[in-house]
Chain A
Amino acid sequence: MKIVLENLTKKFPSRNKKEPKDVTAVDHFSFECPDGQLISLLGPSGCGKSTALNLICGLETPTEGHIYFGDSDVTSLTPELRGVGMVFQNYALYPHLTVKQNILFPLENRKGKDRLTREEMEKRAFQAAELVQIKELMDRKPRELSGGQQQRTAIARALVKTPSVLLLDEPLSNLDARLRLRTREEIKKIQRATGITTIFVTHDQEEAMSISDQILVMRDGRLIQAGKPQEVYDSPNCLFVAKFLGTPPINVFRGRIRDKTLYIGEDAIWKTDLKDQEVFAGIRPEGFLLDSDGPLCCRLNGVEVMGRDVSILSSHPACEAAFVRSIIDSENQMDVSRETVRFSLKPGKVFLFCKDTEERLPFSAERSSL
């Protein structure tokens, strides 16, 4: 089902009596989420992504704006009338009920003509359990399950009602690293198999990038950028998004444009078409090329060989961080005894941002003849 968010705003009354100003958790959030996609809400903690999810779920009512599922306005509907399934961060499995009873719980709530027969309920519960591969655990209590199994049970409980929308609130954050990798693939698989429009909240950009059809980057309650993961990565529209996406993170330099030339520190990099100003230059770790004639000169601090590629740690006076981390192919032979290292840069991996607004400055670059 298509989900449309229109100017969605949620304000909470301030708890601080000295400063009785409302806290805006979600701020004029508009987005159209196509049917059957897996969408990630991505942002640092406290950016309002969970509140946005609760608004879509119906656990919170928006202060302003509308939510549409398909063509119908569901803004004032309660969660059960919206037909949403939700998986909570701590799974919220009822500890005194078995896995089977937990999965049956939503079905047993139904009354009147919606109520299924006992056999039908059991059949549905088994189908849901089969989908997430916990069929053999049906008689266990949640505390007798591993973290991953608990999570699958929670997903089965959300899916058993055949919801039109599946919401996942940080579903992987309680799992260990190895399980997280496997589970996110499984979530993707289940989403593909059922075709349910799924919204997934996470603060982990790698998680979001790896499984989503689209990612929505949020900050301070506002939607900053939306798009396919690779698009957002390749073309961030502000410094925040550029810094937030990517591991290892982007290297940020203080730079300026002078006489149509981009300078990073004192190194003249490129001729550009921008007017003179102070800028931030963000360079992805994979945007560096070893080049003995390269314009960017860094002091070499160390080299980490990681099999497939080599990570070079160096430092540059104009860099915001202590180290510049660059990743190059391991085929390149490095002389580690040298004091300095010179790079040339791949234009597609370098982003310039206005120093004041931190917004992206589009530019065309040609190698400086300097």
Chain B
Amino acid sequence: MKRQWKAFWYLLPALLFLLAFLVYPLVDVFVYSVEEGYNFASQTYFGVGGYNYSYVLHDPYFLQAVKNTCILVVVTVPLSTGLALLISLGLNSIKPLRNLFQTIYFLPYVTNTLAVGLVFMILFQKTEYTDGLINLLIQWFGGSSVDFIDGPYWAKMFVLCFYTVWVVMPFKILILTSALASVNPDYYKAARVDGTSRTRVFFCITLPMISPMVFYLVITGFIGAFKAYSDAVALFGADLNAAGMNTIVGYVYDMLYGDSGGFPSYASAAAVILFAIVLTITCINLLVSKKHIHY
């Protein structure tokens, strides 16, 4: 018993930090989210209840943000993981210039997302003076130009998804190429001796072997996409509500510091809702992955 107390003393510094900077803020967000009419300046509130949640859930901006975030998650996570898998398979099967290609594919990871967002904006934006490079291409192939930055919703969503996939791919490619390289080549030799077709090798050997890494990427991908914010700002500017391209994290930020801000209770409620969504999705992911990862 005495020994155990001693162990706690050793843990105390770390525990104190965790309590102060992790547990306390987490709990505090929950507390804020149920305090009705909280005033930031006077630190007072009227009562405790579910009004903040009700307000947030009925706020059209929040609903728009949830919709945007969900589309972003559903489109970009499978797309970026799939594309990354294809590219890694390609990288793994070429010998000459592999390192060069690996470096090129990894470059987006080390570049500044805001700067790249600016470049994307210039590529896609339509102004009074120019239609932008993408529209020139569309017109060249006989289509009519679209304003991707200030135009219809689907066009803006397309740019946001495109940009997100572009930003998250390098990391996934890096992880998947190393996962592919770590598969013991004897498995492939054994498969060759048995005359296994290429598709069967991929689905029955390669994919199961790298499945832990694929699931890791899917789980972190989901979490990352749900927390998307800076990508949208990089493309559409700080006033995301006006552009109709807000995300849940963007909504939380706006509620705190935006032009319509100063409502920490609403922000906290939105944050708690986001937390609940991410927690649910991650649990589902883990349950599914448990069924499919065998070792």
Contact = CB atoms under 8 A, between A and B. Distances in A.
Interface stretch (B39-47, B181-189, B282-290): B181-189
A241 interface: no
A161 interface: yes
Contacts of A84: 193
A275 interface: no
Point out which of B184, B186, B190, B196 has the most chain A C-beta atoms below 10 A from its C-beta.
B190
A59 B294 contact: no
Interface in A82-127: 84-86, 88-90, 92, 94-97, 105-106, 108-111
A86 B190 contact: yes
B184 A92 contact: yes
A313 B205 CA distance: 55
A206 to B, nearest CB: 26
A85 B75 CA distance: 45
B274 to A, nearest CB: 35
A96 B194 contact: no
B184 to A, nearest CB: 7
A106 B211 CA distance: 22
A111 B198 CA distance: 13
A88 B190 contact: yes
B195 A78 contact: yes
What interface size band does chain B fall in? Answer: 10 to 19
Contacts of B190: 86, 88, 92
Interface string B188-212: 0110111111001000110011010
A96 B211 CA distance: 10
Most buried by A among B194, B197, B205, B211: B194
Given A90-B184, A143-B295, A109 B189 contact: no
Contacts of A85: 193
Interface in B251-295: 294-295
A96 B294 contact: yes
A57 interface: yes
B193 A79 contact: yes
B141 to A, nearest CB: 41
Contact of A105 (B184, B192, B194): B194
Contacts of A92: 184, 186-187, 189-190
A97 B196 CA distance: 15
Interface in A35-75: 57-59
Contacts of A79: 192-195
| Most chain A beta-carbon neighbours within 10 Å: one of B193, B194, B196, B211 | B193
Looking at chain A's contact residues, the main secondary structure is loop
A95 B190 CA distance: 13
A115 to B, nearest CB: 12
A90 B186 contact: yes
Contacts of B204: 94, 97, 105
B295 A88 contact: no
A109 B195 contact: yes
Interface in A242-262: none
Q: How large is the interface on A (under 10, 10 to 19, 20 to 34, 35 or more residues)?
A: 20 to 34
Contacts of A278: none
A94 B187 CA distance: 7
Contacts of A94: 187, 204-205, 208
A330 to B, nearest CB: 47
A80 B103 CA distance: 37
Given A96-B208, A96-B209, A57 B295 contact: no
Contact of A109 (B184, B200, B209): B200
B295 A96 contact: yes
Contacts of A105: 194, 196, 204
Contacts of A78: 192, 195
Given A90-B186, A109-B200, A80 B208 contact: no
B182 to A, nearest CB: 13
Contacts of A80: 192-195
B8 to A, nearest CB: 37
A316 interface: no
Given A90-B186, A92-B184, A109 B196 contact: yes
A141 B192 contact: no
A359 to B, nearest CB: 38
A88 B186 contact: yes
A142 to B, nearest CB: 9
Given A94-B205, A141-B295, A59 B192 contact: yes
Contacts of B193: 57-59, 79-80, 84-86
Contacts of A108: 200
Nearest to A89: B186
Given A92-B189, A94-B187, A106 B295 contact: no
A28 to B, nearest CB: 25
Interface in B206-221: 208-209, 211
Given A92-B189, A96-B294, 16 more contacts: A58-B193, A79-B192, A79-B193, A88-B189, A92-B184, A92-B186, A92-B187, A94-B208, A95-B209, A95-B294, A96-B211, A96-B295, A97-B204, A105-B204, A106-B195, A143-B295
Interface of B: 184, 186-187, 189-190, 192-197, 200, 204-205, 208-209, 211, 294-295
27 contacts: A57-B193, A59-B189, A59-B193, A78-B195, A80-B193, A80-B194, A81-B195, A85-B193, A88-B189, A89-B186, A90-B184, A92-B190, A94-B187, A94-B204, A95-B209, A95-B294, A95-B295, A96-B208, A96-B209, A96-B211, A105-B196, A106-B194, A106-B195, A108-B200, A109-B195, A111-B197, A141-B294
3 tightest Cβ-Cβ pairs between the two chains A and B = A80-B195, A106-B194, A92-B186
